Amino acid sequence: MTVRTETPCWQRIGVKGDRTCPELVKVTHCNNCPVFTAGAVELFNRPISDDYLDWLTGTIAGEASSKARSDRTLLVFRVAQEWFAIDAGSVRTIAPLGVVRRLAHRRDRAFQGLTAVRGELVPCISLAALLSLPEPDGAAGTDAARRLVAVVENKDGAVAIEIAEARGVVAVPATGVRATPDTVRQEVLPVTSGLQSIEGLEVTILDPDALFERMMRTLG
């Protein structure tokens, strides 16, 4: 393809030049001239240099990877008096806690039974019991009418976990996660991936895979 190297006529003898082009009498302005239109087509069809393509590719890839590294979306919620968060992508829905149907011969106190969420029966797990979280005096009666469940899922299925309060879904910088200290309660430590300050709260970040494996053992 031929690339224009000379100064175009509209800059020499057209409206951006000395206006001596005889075609101006007929077209009034260079924008109405077929020569100008052909020049625009040639400009848009010009070959793109390899250097520019490399720069553009690197810029787009860099922006995407930077965003992926810098942000994560978490559901922040409270169980008992402690705040937790889990990757929002592993949460199917949040709904009011309905009737829980207990199953006979199930001794694990973390497994509450089955509950209907959006028309589907799912196992219901008490996260407070699973993680041995202390319930403050009188909390059960106070929160019973407004308790919620968050349905979390992975490739093996879905489980409803009881929560006392949902703070909401927030985007947080991944770089803000701190290592889980050894002082964290031993029942909580195996299912956490770190701690993070979120909207003024000290939040324990749950590992969805480790938590789901722990919950599945209560159903076995």
| CATH number of the domain within which 162 lies | 2.40.50.180
Whether 150 and 108 map to the same domain: the answer is yes
Q: Are residues 27 and 121 in the same domain?
A: no
Local confidence band at 10 (pLDDT 50, 70, 90 cut-offs)? confident
Q: DSSP character for 190? A: G
Q: Is residue 168 one of the residues assigned to a domain? A: yes
**142 and 193 within one domain:** yes
* Structural domains in the chain (count): 2
Q: Do 34 and 86 belong to one domain?
A: no
Let me know whether 166 and 100 are in one domain.
yes
Strand-by-strand arrangement of the 165-173 sheet = 165-173, 71-79, 82-87, 201-206, 192-198
The answer on 99 and 148 residing in a single domain is: yes
User: Do residues 28 and 137 both lie within one domain?
Assistant: no
pTM, two decimals, is: 0.64
Q: Which domain holds residue 177?
A: 71-219
Task: Say yes or no: 16 and 110 in one domain.
Answer: no
Residue 38 located in a structural domain: yes
The mean pLDDT of 50-61, rounded to a whole number, is 66
Q: Per-residue pLDDT for 170 more than 80?
A: yes
Tell me: do 92 and 145 sit in the same domain.
yes
Top pLDDT among 12 and 123 is at 123
The pLDDT confidence band at residue 17, using thresholds 50, 70 and 90, is confident
- The answer on 107 and 14 residing in a single domain is no
Residue 14 has pLDDT above 70, yes or no: yes
pLDDT of 70 strictly over 60: no
| pLDDT of 205 | 93
The answer to whether 147 and 164 are in contact (CB under 8 A) is: yes
Residue 152 lies in a domain: yes
* pLDDT of 22: 86
CB-based contact 96:109 (threshold 8 Å): no
Whether the pLDDT of residue 148 is over 50: the answer is yes
Return mean pLDDT, the chain: 81
**Does residue 1 belong to any structural domain of this protein?**
no
Q: Percent of the chain having pLDDT more than 70?
A: 80
C-alpha 20/C-alpha 26 separation (Å) is 13
63 belongs to a structural domain = no
